């Protein structure tokens, strides 16, 4: 069996646009059994960013400047590289730059330490540099060369604060990224097709579900102690692990991992009920939805109009509550080998793209 490679397509979704779009972003091949997710796809064109910077600079008030920036972000699901970030920040006065950085926080590519250093150069005081570092930490690649950043700070106590931020950074999970949100529900497909196998770079054969359990276990183990979480699985039926979100205590984390290790792949794909259960808990502010295919049972399997109506109602109910759904189309392996049928991977991608776009999340394809 030829080695499969995991490819990631990551698109930062910013607004409720047209229901179905055309081409997805280009894919990057990562030769590793546990690859690091890259956020460097689908970057804004430099000319567009130059025009944006000029438009921002022509505005006088911070409100007008941020409004121009927000309007730009809604145009397309693209992200900024480090040089473009510097260009955007240049259009703001120094005391306005932190607000600008907060606005584009989730629309930034991964940053190495040299790129981070160039951004920090935009800020004159240790205080503003620390604020910027705190905002950007979820986009920073882990490195041992911390002196590149620490030398940007004048005072020893501020260097220590910066070091504390840098040493707190964890590796990016290949499926779920870095979990920043405090009230999270993981909605996981456990249908029969999740038993489809693929060969990792180390030669080990694993199923889709085994891989997902491995990565979700890692994520849950590293949840912030102030976080609350739940897990909803769906196949023939949707089943919540807990009736409500619970705190990320050691006991609850151990219980969740034990639950995950008992999951088996079987039955059809009742995505609608899985989403419905997760959406009903309005104490959550983020859902991570992972599936390997389009719905094959439940309300949403019979009509795209029904699914659209369900999602639209949820969108209207949650649109002003900073609620996000991130989606992952996990389609590694070939179902034809095990189940003697070919799954419609393009439709699975399209559905996950639509849901993430509607709820302002990040969309990933792993194939």
Residues 6 or more apart whose CB falls under 8 angstroms from that of 92 comprise: 56, 62, 65, 99, 100
Say whether both 109 and 137 belong to one domain: yes
Domain end: 152, 167, 182, which one? 167
CA 121 and chain centroid, separation: 28
Say whether both 188 and 249 belong to one domain: yes
CA atoms within 13 A on the CB side of 112: 4
Angle (CA) 243-249-255 rounded to 5° is: 60
Predicted local confidence at residue 147, as pLDDT: 92
The sign one gets for the Cα dihedral 7, 11, 16, 18 is negative
Domain containing residue 107: 46-167
Predicted local confidence at residue 92, as pLDDT: 98
Tens digit of pLDDT at every position of the chain (367 positions): 444 444 444 444 333 333 433 333 333 332 333 333 333 346 789 999 999 999 999 999 999 999 999 889 877 667 799 999 999 999 999 999 999 999 998 778 889 999 999 999 999 999 999 999 999 998 898 887 899 999 999 999 999 999 999 998 887 788 888 888 899 999 999 999 888 888 777 778 889 999 999 999 999 999 998 999 999 999 989 999 999 999 999 999 999 999 999 999 998 888 888 998 999 998 999 999 998 876 665 544 444 566 677 778 888 887 767 788 988 988 887 765 555 455 567 777 888 888 887 887 778 888 7
Task: Give the 3-state secondary structure percentages of the chain, helix then strand then coil, rounded to 5.
Answer: 45, 15, 40
Does residue 213 sit within a domain? yes
Does residue 1 sit within a domain? no
Domain end: 102, 136, 167, which one? 167
* Alpha-carbon span 100 to 80, nearest angstrom: 13
Q: Give the CATH number of the domain where residue 317 resides.
A: 3.40.50.410
Strand partners, 328: 290, 364
Say whether both 228 and 318 belong to one domain: yes
3-class secondary structure per residue, 56-97:
HHCCCCHHHHHHHHHHHHCCCCCEECHHHHHHHHHCCCHHHH
* Alpha-carbon span 192 to 269, nearest angstrom: 8
Does residue 116 sit within a domain? yes
Say whether both 177 and 326 belong to one domain: yes
Structure tokens at 214: 């491995």
Say whether both 193 and 225 belong to one domain: yes
Structure tokens at 248: 């990320």
Domain count of the chain? 2
Nearest 10 degrees: Cα torsion 21, 25, 26, 29: -120
CA distances from 350 to 192, 314, 346 (A): 21, 19, 6
Say whether both 111 and 132 belong to one domain: yes
Say whether both 279 and 224 belong to one domain: yes
Predicted local confidence at residue 132, as pLDDT: 97
Angle (CA) 322-326-330 rounded to 5° is: 175
- pTM equals 0.74
Strand partners, 365: 9, 329
Nearest 10 degrees: Cα torsion 140, 142, 148, 151: 80
Domain end: 137, 167, 197, which one? 167
Angle (CA) 158-164-169 rounded to 5° is: 135
Predicted local confidence at residue 353, as pLDDT: 81
Say whether both 30 and 152 belong to one domain: no
Say whether both 177 and 163 belong to one domain: no
Residues 6 or more apart whose CB falls under 8 angstroms from that of 101 comprise: 85, 89, 132, 135, 136
Residues 6 or more apart whose CB falls under 8 angstroms from that of 254 comprise: none
* Alpha-carbon span 77 to 18, nearest angstrom: 12
Say whether both 101 and 152 belong to one domain: yes
Say whether both 190 and 303 belong to one domain: yes
The sign one gets for the Cα dihedral 55, 58, 62, 63 is negative
Secondary structure (DSSP) of 136-192:
HGGGBPP-S-THHHHTT-SSHHHHHHHHHHHHT--PPBTTTB----SEEEEEEE-SG
């Amino acid at each position: 069996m030829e080695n499969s490679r995991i490819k990631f397509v990551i698109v930062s979704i910013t607004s409720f646009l047209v229901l179905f779009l055309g081409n997805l972003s280009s894919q990057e091949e990562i030769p590793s059994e546990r690859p690091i997710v890259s956020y460097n796809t689908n970057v804004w064109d430099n000319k567009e960013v130059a025009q944006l910077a000029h438009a921002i600079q022509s505005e006088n008030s911070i409100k007008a400047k941020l409004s121009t920036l927000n309007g730009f972000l809604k145009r397309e699901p693209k992200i900024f590289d480090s040089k473009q970030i510097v260009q955007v920040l240049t259009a703001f006065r120094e005391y306005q730059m932190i607000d600008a950085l907060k606005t584009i926080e989730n629309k930034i590519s991964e940053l190495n330490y040299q790129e981070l250093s160039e951004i920090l150069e935009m800020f004159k005081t240790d205080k503003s540099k620390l604020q910027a570092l705190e905002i950007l930490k979820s986009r920073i690649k882990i490195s041992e060369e911390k002196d590149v950043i620490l030398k940007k700070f004048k005072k020893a106590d501020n260097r220590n604060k910066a070091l504390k931020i840098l040493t707190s950074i964890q590796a990016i999970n290949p499926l779920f990224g870095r979990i920043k949100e405090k009230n999270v529900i993981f909605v996981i497909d456990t249908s029969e097709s999740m038993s489809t196998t693929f060969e990792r770079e180390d030669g080990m054969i694993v199923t889709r579900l085994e891989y997902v359990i491995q990565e979700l276990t890692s994520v849950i183990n590293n949840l912030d102690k102030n976080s609350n979480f739940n897990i909803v699985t769906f196949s023939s039926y949707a089943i919540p692990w807990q009736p409500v979100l619970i705190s990320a205590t050691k006991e609850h984390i151990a219980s969740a991992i034990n639950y995950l290790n008992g999951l088996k792949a079987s039955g059809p794909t009742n995505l609608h009920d899985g989403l419905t259960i997760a959406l009903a808990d309005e104490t959550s502010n983020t859902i991570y939805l992972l599936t390997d295919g389009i719905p094959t049972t439940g309300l949403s399997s019979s009509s795209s109009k029904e699914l659209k109506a369900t999602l639209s109602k949820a969108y209207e109910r949650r649109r002003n509550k900073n609620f996000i759904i991130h989606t992952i189309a996990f389609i590694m392996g070939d179902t034809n080998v095990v189940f003697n049928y070919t799954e419609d991977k393009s439709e699975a991608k399209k559905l996950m793209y639509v849901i993430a776009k509607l709820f302002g999340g990040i969309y990933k394809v792993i194939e």
